[in-house]
Structure 1
């Protein structure tokens, strides 16, 4: 199959690699769409040469491994990009991301979705209803990230929410916060087109941090930027007895002054990935048309255009979610289960 693999320059080459084979309890999907995640833009610098990244994917089943009885060839699938042991407490409760033997598909573990085919765990796969187009199916993973963060915040109808950062995860959090009943949702971002997108996904207000906003403090604050200094900034914007949820992926050392959070008696939560239940609920809402998602997908590329699109996203851009669609080029013969 053709795949985008990490090269020595921390970019990508499009090469032929062996087709994946499904092991027991696994399936192989033909990738119909895979979103480029903002965390990948940072993570690529630490990935080994030859790795296939990409974890926001969906597709159709083309091969089924031993012991899989509840799936058929051709089934439309959205799958967690996670392979756990299947028997530990985190796996049993849907919290697969915290399995001690976790294999993270496309994030340093098994090959990911920037390719024509991807191998997934059948038990972490969900049927994608016909009402959910494959393009939209590629949004399930990032939207589930947003849902998980909002669920951790335990929102109430009286809550006023501030979302710091209007990228895809920030937009997903703003959308879910409003959907889950927050009274007001303010999205703070210095980029005008991101603020416009925030209104489209349900934010009640937007603010430009370079123009004096947002004003005041908020009972619930989501940090969705992931750069050093942002936690300290968000502590200052969180109200007394408030909740600060950190969803931004920061890969560098950071500091803040704990006493400033202590004196406000803040609850500080770090969130990562999602639960199996978050995937299921996201798919259900998408199938029912209950989520305002039109602002998310802004561009599509095939594998040959992937490296350039990925590099462009490392710089200021008007893109939100760029989809890689291997199906825009001729498909090879699909892999066969052994």
Structure 2
């Protein structure tokens, strides 16, 4: 099996990060999505954090909402089709939530983060920031995307991209988790014993799941 879905995996010591022994593994497992979120928000200029639009509220989107809250964003708005995920976004720090198509076209933000990277969501992100605002593409596009370059150029809107994380991000978010700043229990929709891993992978593909976790007997 690829990745860590194997009985043994050896990594270089430099890839390891120190975490408090008291931090449960089911909480520490969120260091990776939290590190993605912290890296994404950390790429944005401080003046873009006044009002931020987040498009998409899955595991990464909801992690970004929390990272924005922790890192001082003044107002967070979320666009997400699933009503339960919208409700969770409000609980985790968003001020306003909308289903796609509900937000008036005239509403603008100082920053926008596209966690979907579809053509429609990228267009929305690029046209919803004020002049001089910042757009970050966090989602993974399935292919080439067009950018509304005339308005991007005219109004000096910046397009950044966030791919993953660096070691510093892990160190920071481990502290968030240890201090209880980053909520994890609300993000776990399902917990399976490792003997039912195949079912867990199937469940993780369903749109209403957020984070599906495997529980090992000795945890």
Structure 1 segment 283-302 matched on structure 2, within 5 A: 283-302=174-193
Aligned residues: 218
Give 2:169's aligned residue. Answer: 278
Give 1:208's aligned residue. Answer: 99
Contact residue 227 and residue 252 of structure 1 kept, 8 A: no
Give 2:201's aligned residue. Answer: 310
Deviates more, 1:138-147 or 1:298-307: 298-307
1:254 matched to 2:145: yes
- Secondary structure, in 3 states, of the residue corresponding to 1:295? helix
1:224 matched to 2:115: yes
Cα distance change of structure 1 residues 276 and 167 upon mapping to structure 2, 3 Å threshold:
same
Q: Higher Cα Rg: structure 1 or 2? A: 1
Cα distance change of structure 1 residues 143 and 249 upon mapping to structure 2, 3 Å threshold:
same
Distance 2:48 2:118 in 1: 30
Q: 2:55 aligns with which of 160, 164, 175?
A: 164
Give 1:42's aligned residue. Answer: none
Give the Å deviation of 1:248: 0.4
Contact residue 207 and residue 213 of structure 1 kept, 8 A: no
- Secondary structure, in 3 states, of the residue corresponding to 1:117? coil
1:323 matched to 2:204: no
Residue deviations 1:160-207 (CA, integer Å, cap 9, x gap): 111111011111111111111111011111111111111222112211
Give the Å deviation of 1:321: 0.6
- Secondary structure, in 3 states, of the residue corresponding to 1:126? coil
TM-score of the two chains, using structure 2 as the length reference? 0.91
Contact residue 114 and residue 125 of structure 2 kept, 8 A: yes
Distance 2:205 2:142 in 1: 15
1:235 matched to 2:109: no
Distance 1:270 1:186 in 2: 20
Name stretches of at least 5 consecutive residues in structure 2 with no aligned partner. none
Distance 2:57 2:153 in 1: 28
Contact residue 157 and residue 183 of structure 1 kept, 8 A: no
Residue deviations 1:262-318 (CA, integer Å, cap 9, x gap): 12211110111111111001001111112233321221223442333323333332x
Q: Please give the root-mean-square deviation of Cα atoms over the aligned residues, in Å.
A: 2.0
Cα distance change of structure 1 residues 158 and 249 upon mapping to structure 2, 3 Å threshold:
closer
Residue deviations 1:211-239 (CA, integer Å, cap 9, x gap): 34586010110000132332122111121
Distance 1:176 1:316 in 2: 23
Residue deviations 1:128-147 (CA, integer Å, cap 9, x gap): 21231100111001100000
Higher strand residue share: 1
- Secondary structure, in 3 states, of the residue corresponding to 2:57? coil
1:125 matched to 2:16: yes
Contact residue 189 and residue 210 of structure 2 kept, 8 A: yes
